[in-house]
Amino acid sequence: MSSTKPRRLTPKGEQTRHRIVAAAAQLMFEHGVAATTVEDVRDAAGVSNSQVYHYFTDKNALIRAVIAYQSDTVVGGQEPMFARLDTVEGFRAWRDFLVAHQRRMHCRGGCPLGSLGSELAEINSTARADVATAFRRWESGVRSGLRSMAEAGRLDPAADPDKLATTTLAALQGALLLTQLQRDTAPLEIALDTMIDHIASRTRPASDNVQESGIDIPISSR
């Protein structure tokens, strides 16, 4: 198995490695993995062949580094918002962020992680597993908010946070593909609005439970 990162790097080495990975990520996003050569990455990063191979033993190691980079960029960039997905309002703010990003991109490129997964899943099992891990990280961020809703008593006990999180991510990925193909954010807006409306329909006001001394007392009549 190819290593994705040297064990120890100097600050200058870290900067050079990051420049190589960022250049590779941009090229693979624009042209695909198969059409991106190590020489293309070398030229785009402004480094030598020896520098590329100092940090990456082969193209497969570089691909794995790009997946990790996209996971940190795409999913990591959303993590501050995941902390607010314990409310419907937080979900709507997340939705607005995703739609605004697609508008800034003019609906081009789709999801960087989704594109990598589609191209690599059947030809590179290690890369497929890496992309799957990145998607689990994404799903986990959505799930954590829904579980917080459930733990606070704001989500219908019959609603399954895990299934809702999986469905939300699946709807998002499908919508991103349609948005890319149609060059229109409407599919993304519709898919996310539908999922969020469904989540909202399964929530209930905090006043449905009366808490006293940390003990939930159901409201009932005799």
Domains: count for the chain: 2
Spatial CA neighbour of 28 closest among 63, 53, 61: 63
User: Do both 86 and 169 map to the same domain?
Assistant: yes
- Between CA 84 and CA 141 the distance in angstroms is 10
Q: What is the CATH number of the domain that holds 102?
A: 1.10.357.10
Beta-carbon count within 10 A of 18 CB = 15
Residue 1 lies inside a defined structural domain of this protein? no
Mean pLDDT split into 10-residue runs, the chain, 222 residues: 59 94 97 96 96 95 98 96 96 98 96 97 97 98 97 95 98 98 98 98 70 38 34
> Looking at residue 214, what is its pLDDT?
43
Domain membership flag for residue 6 = no
Q: For residue 199, what pLDDT is reported?
A: 98
Position 207 scores a pLDDT of 55
Residue among 56, 49, 45 at smallest CA distance from 9: 56
44: domain CATH number? 1.10.10.60
Q: In terms of residue numbers, what domain contains 198?
A: 72-205
Does any domain span residue 2?
no
Q: What pLDDT, on a 0 to 100 scale, did the predictor assign at position 211?
A: 45
* Same-domain pairing of 101 and 140: yes
Q: What is the pLDDT of residue 205?
A: 73
Length of the chain equals 222
Residues 94, 196 within the same domain = yes
Residue-level pLDDT at 219: 34
> In this structure, is residue 48 part of a structural domain?
yes
Question: What pLDDT is attached to residue 186?
Answer: 98
pLDDT for residue 215: 37
Residue 38 lies in a domain: yes
**19 in the same domain as 85:** no
CB atoms within 10 A of CB 35: 11
The pTM of this model reads 0.86
